[in-house]
Structure 1
Amino acid sequence: MVNTGDTAPDFTAPLANGDIDSFTLSDRLKDEAPIVLAFFPGAFTSVCTEEMCTFQDRLSAFDNVDATVYGVSRDSPFTLNEFRAQNDLEFGLISDLNKTVVDEYSVEMDFDDLGVYGVAKRSVFVIDGDGEVTYAWSSDDPGVEPEYAEVEVAAEDAT
């Protein structure tokens, strides 16, 4: 897994933001850092919905420190746009349909009992304007959500 102090792996992927645009991390750092990447296993599942809605509910804390939040999952950008719409999410969701970002950040997990493989492990990374990971968290238990207050502090510290 990518750790605190590492250079964040750069990537380009589709961005579900109501439309479908292209997202390149290195291009976004100048204007949007710190960037919070919140990886989640799958749209429309209970814990993932709760997590993304909690980020939405706390979005003003990130806005107050000029941090930008993005969710990241293996879902298609079309699915993610519907997920955004149904949950009134104001932040973009990055579609890692080809599993490139999950592999680069080493946050892959499987649900063997469900026959689902290669989804994103619930993980959060805060990346500063220089592209350095200033906060890294991941859970092997898909039912565990991040400590949101800790992520907020990390985002503030990365400004």
Structure 2
Amino acid sequence: MVEVGDDAPDFTAPLADGDVSTVTLSDRLDDAPLVLAFFPAAFTSTCTTEMCTFRDRMANFEDIGATVFGISVDTPFALNEFRDQNDLNFPLVSDTNREIVREYGVSMDFEKYGVEEVAKRAVFVVDGSGEVTYAWVSDDPGAEPDYEEVADAAETARA
């Protein structure tokens, strides 16, 4: 699993931003600090609450110059619909091939539902040099991050 002080694993993946484009993490370091908010599945209760909480707190992140990305294994088309239905004001990264969740060490299975390799709920903050400066990973899919702690970590990473 990726830890504080590690170089953030680079990735290129589809980006759901109202359209479908691609994003490469290393190309976005100028927009740092970057907040990578992994979530298991669009349209589920806790994931919707989490992404809507980031939406509602977006001004806090914008004030410190942070860029937020949600990341899940859903398709970019489903993620765009999820963005639309919830008025999300930040882009979502589609990791359908599960490479990002594997690289960050945040993959989990919902065995009782027969679903494999979805994202654990996790948040990483990456600074402008590509270093992970904050990491929070939960094995409880019903847990949510401490949003103030994430904002504080992003502000610290900005310096």
TM-score interval, normalised by the smaller of the two chains = over 0.9
Alignment deviations for residues 108-127 of structure 1 (CA, whole Å, 9 cap, x no partner): 01111111110000000000
Aligned AA for 1:22?
Answer: T
Q: Which residue of 1 aligns with 2:133?
A: 134
- Which secondary structure does the structure 2 equivalent of 1:83 belong to? helix
Q: Gapped runs of 5+ residues in structure 2? A: none
SS of residue in 2 equivalent to 1:56:
helix
CA distance in 2, matches of 1:152, 1:51: 14
Q: Which residue of 2 aligns with 1:124?
A: 123
Look up the equivalent residue of 2:98 and give its one-letter code.
K
- Cα distance in 2 for partners of 1:68, 1:52 equals 14
Residues 78-93 of structure 1 aligned to structure 2 (within 5 Å):
78-93=77-92
TM-score, structure 1 as length reference: 0.99
Please provide the CA RMSD for this pair: 0.4
Q: Which residue number corresponds to residue 157 of structure 2?
A: 158
> Aligned equivalents of 1:144 and 1:103: distance in 2?
20
Misfit runs of 4+, over 6 Å = none
Matched, 1:67 2:66: yes
Measured against aligned partners, the alpha-carbon deviations of 1:9-58 in whole angstroms (never above 9, x if no partner) come to 0000000000001100000112x100000000000000000000000000
**What is the CA-CA distance between 1:88 and the residue it aligns to?**
0.1
Aligned to 2:141, the other structure's residue is in SS state coil
Distance 2:145 2:122 in 1: 8
In structure 1, the residue matched to 2:23 is 23
Q: In structure 2, how many angstroms separate the alpha carbons of the residues matched to 1:113 and 1:59?
A: 35
How much has 1:81 moved relative to structure 2?
Answer: 0.1
Query: Whole-Å Cα distance in 1 between the matches of residues 22 and 29 of structure 2?
Result: 14
Query: How many Å separate the matches in 1 of 2:155 and 2:26?
Result: 20
Identity %: 66
**3-state SS of the aligned residue for 2:43?**
coil
Cα deviation, residue 147, structure 1: 0.4
Q: Equivalents in 2 of 1:108, 1:80: separation in Å? A: 19
| 3-state DSSP of counterpart to 1:158 | helix
The SS at the match of 1:14 is strand
Query: Which letter does structure 2 place at the counterpart of 1:104?
Result: E
Offset, 1:80: 0.1
